[in-house]
Amino acid sequence: MKKKYLFIVLVLSVILNFSLSAQDKPVANKAIFAEFGGGGMIMSMNFDQRFNSNSKLGFGYRIGAGFGVGTFDVKTKYGYESFSRTYYTVPVGINYIVGKQDSSSSFEIGGGVSFLTRKVSLDFFGIYEEKYGNFIGYVNFMYRLTPLNSGYTFRGGLTPLINASGNLIPMGAVSFGYAF
């Protein structure tokens, strides 16, 4: 009789433990990633997190630090000369992730602003008459491949930029990182 009760208690504890551990599994709703292109311009390191800590979908934010290379007009004693200089960026944005909670594939829609350390002209191959600005806007349409719990992540898609004159400049981005 004792063996029967011990067996029942053992089976119930294993079942209860599996059901509790299934509920306690952490969801990969945070990520650190390197992005090439996009709001950080040439390259940026970013942190992304969902507002709902129990879901990898829904609204979230990102913040990062990156750099770009731009052309600047510098006044010299001979007049104005153009130079290429590095500038630093701070991309900040809001995004929304659509997909299934139990799938590693999802789609990101978002946008934000990148603050620049220099006034930069983004004229897209001389097509636009562009004024210089210390910020650019960006919009994200990205495919995301993120593990369910934690692991390596990939993002890729279109990230058009909006320059200081309000012109839309086509651009893409690819990112690799780690979700946790």
117-143 tens-digit pLDDT: 887 766 655 555 566 778 899 999 999
Report the CATH number that the domain containing residue 90 is assigned in CATH: 2.40.160.20
Distance of alpha carbon 117 from alpha carbon 170, whole angstroms: 22
Total domains in the fold of the chain: 1
In a domain, 18, yes or no: no
**Domain with 167 in it:** 28-179
How far apart (Å, rounded) are the C-alpha atoms in residues 175 and 154?
A: 6
| pLDDT tens per residue, range 71-95 | 767 777 888 777 778 899 999 999 9
Q: What does DSSP say about strands 30-37 and 161-162: parallel, antiparallel, or unpaired?
A: unpaired
Q: Is the pTM higher than 0.85?
A: no
